[in-house]
Amino acid sequence: MRFLLIVQGEGRGHLTQAIALTDILEKNGHTVAGALIGTATGREIPAFFTENFNKTIISFSSPYLAYCQKTKALDIPKTISNTLLNLRAYLRSLKKIQQHIEELNPDVIINFYDVLGGMHHFLFRPKVPMICIAHQYLLLHPNFHHPKNHWLDKLLVNTNTRITALGASKKLALSFTPFEDDKAQKIFTIPPLLRSELSKLKTETHNYLLAYVTQYSLAEQLMAWHDKNPTVELHCFWDNPNYSDTYQYSPKLHFHKINGRKFLEMMQNCQGLVTTAGFESVCEAMYLGKPTLMIPVPKHYEQACNAIDAKRAGAGIAAKSFDLTSFINYLPTHTDISPEFKAWHSRSAFIFLREIESLFDTHSAVRMRRRELVPQFVKRFALALVSPLSRH
C-alpha cells in the first residue's frame, strides 16, 4: 500500500512519530509517498525531520498555538484570533493539500493531528480512507481521567481533536499503557511510536539532569532555580533562535539546540528528565527507565492531561514550576517501569499493521458490496420496466 502523511509540525512529537511509523511501514513492504507538514506562518520544518525523512516533504500554513510572552502560558484568545486572521492562508493550504494528494496518489492518508488535515477530508472527500494518530484521541475516551474543574478547556481541546479527525475511518490513540478500545467512537489504542535508535542505547546513570522545554522562554525558570542550586549539573535542550549551538549559562548549566540524536545520547546517561509534559519525551524516558518531572505549560490542557496520565503509568511526578528540588528528592524512590513499557511498545508494529489491514478489509468489502449492488439495481430496474410491457 501507498501512504501519505499529514503532520502537525509544531514541536517534535508528531514529527518523530511520523518518522517512526515510516520505518515500520517500509520494513513491512509498504511505501510512504511523502509528508505534508503543517507549520506556523514563517516557520521552517525542523532539521531533524528533514535529515531523517528522505521522502517528498511539502510544508503548508496551519493553525498553531500562541503563548503569552509575559506569563509563558498558552493564550487561547490569541490562538483563536491568529487563526481567524490567517484564514485566507489556511484556505490556500487546503487547496495545496488537495493538489498534492492528487499528485502523490496514496491508498491511505495518515493524519498526525493536523486541523487542516481533518478539514480537508471533510470538505474535499477524497476517495481514500484517512487514519488519525495522536495521544490526544485517548482524551476522547470515556474512561480517561481528566483534570478536575476544567470543563471549558476539555471542551475546547476535544473539539479541536474531533476536527482533526473529521471523516476518519479510525482514530489510533497512542497510550503509555494498554487501554480498552472504544469502537463506538472508532478509537483504537496503540503503543507509542518511538524512534528505532532507542533500542540501540545502553543506559547508565551519570551525575546530571536533562531538561527539554517546548518554549525557550521557559528556560528562565531553570536559570532562576540553578542560581540557587549552582552545584547541580543540568543540560537543557531548547529552540532559542538566538543560539546556533550550545550556550553555557554557567559551568554546570548548558543549553543545547534541539538535536534528536544528541538528546537521546544524553538521556541514556542522565539521572532523570525534566520536561514540559510532552507525550514523546516522557515515553522515551519511560523506555530508558529514567524518572521524569513533568511541568505542564500553564493553561495547556493537553499537557496537564499528559502529566496526570503519565503519573498514573509510573513515569514520575508532576509540578507547576521548574523547581527541581522535589524531583531530586524523588529520584531515590522511583520504581523502574521500563520492562513493562518495553513489552507494550514492542507490539507497536503488529498492532498498527493489524488496524491498517482490518481497515482495508472493511473498505474492500464495502467496495465489493457496491459493485454487487449496481448490477442488482440495474436488473431490478429493467424488470420493473419490462413487467408492464409483458402484460400486453
pLDDT at 174: 97
Which candidate, 271, 265, 281, 282, places its Cα nearest to that of 316?
282
CATH architecture of 2-193: 3-Layer(aba) Sandwich (3.40)
How far apart CA 106 and CA 360 sit, in angstroms, is: 13
Q: Which three cell numbers stand for residue 275?
A: 520536561
- pLDDT tens digits, one per residue of 79-127: 888 888 888 989 999 999 999 999 999 999 999 999 999 999 999 999 8
Per CATH, 2-193 and 197-345 having the same topology is answered yes
Contact (Cβ atoms closer than 8 angstroms) between residue 288 and residue 198: yes
Classify the C-alpha dihedral 183-186-192-193 as positive or negative.
Answer: positive
Locus of grid cell 511509523? 21
Grid cell of 371 as nine digits: 459493485
Owner of C-alpha cell 519525551 = 281
> Is the pLDDT confidence value at 128 over 80?
yes
Strand partners, 60: 38
pLDDT digits (tens, 9 = 90+) for 274-324: 998 889 999 999 999 999 999 998 888 999 999 999 999 999 999 998 889
Rounded to an integer, what distance in angstroms lies between the CA atom of residue 324 and that of residue 229?
Answer: 9
pLDDT at 361: 62
Measure the CA–CA gap between 320 and 299, rounded to whole angstroms: 11
Q: Report the C-alpha gap between 242 and 147 in whole angstroms.
A: 36
Q: pLDDT tens digits for 355-376?
A: 988 877 655 444 444 444 444 5
Q: Are strands 253-257 and 31-39 parallel, antiparallel or unpaired?
A: unpaired
Going by C-alpha positions, the residue among 246, 242, 211 that lies closest to residue 322 is 211
Least confident of 104-108, 117-121, 211-215, 336-340: 211-215
Q: How far apart are CA 202 and CA 188, in angstroms?
A: 32
246, pLDDT greater than 80 = yes
Contact between residue 296 and residue 303 where contact means Cβ atoms under 8 Å apart? yes
Q: How far apart are CA 315 and CA 284, in angstroms?
A: 10
What CATH code would you report for 197-345?
3.40.50.2000
For range 4-24, the mean pLDDT: 92
Q: Which residue has the higher pLDDT, 200 or 372?
A: 200
Q: Tell me the three cell numbers of residue 392.
A: 400486453
Rounded to an integer, what distance in angstroms lies between the CA atom of residue 305 and that of residue 24? 28
Mean pLDDT of the chain: 88
Cell of residue 308, nine digits:
496526570
- Residue tagged 458490496 (cell numbers): 369
- CB under 8 A, 24+ apart: contacts of 21-25: 21/110, 21/133, 21/193, 21/352, 22/53, 22/55, 23/196, 24/193, 24/348, 24/349, 24/352, 24/353
Q: How many CB atoms lie within 10 A of CB 335?
A: 7
The model's pTM is 0.85
Q: Return the minimum-mean-pLDDT range out of 45-49, 164-168, 194-198.
A: 45-49
- Domain residue spans of the chain: 2-193, 197-345
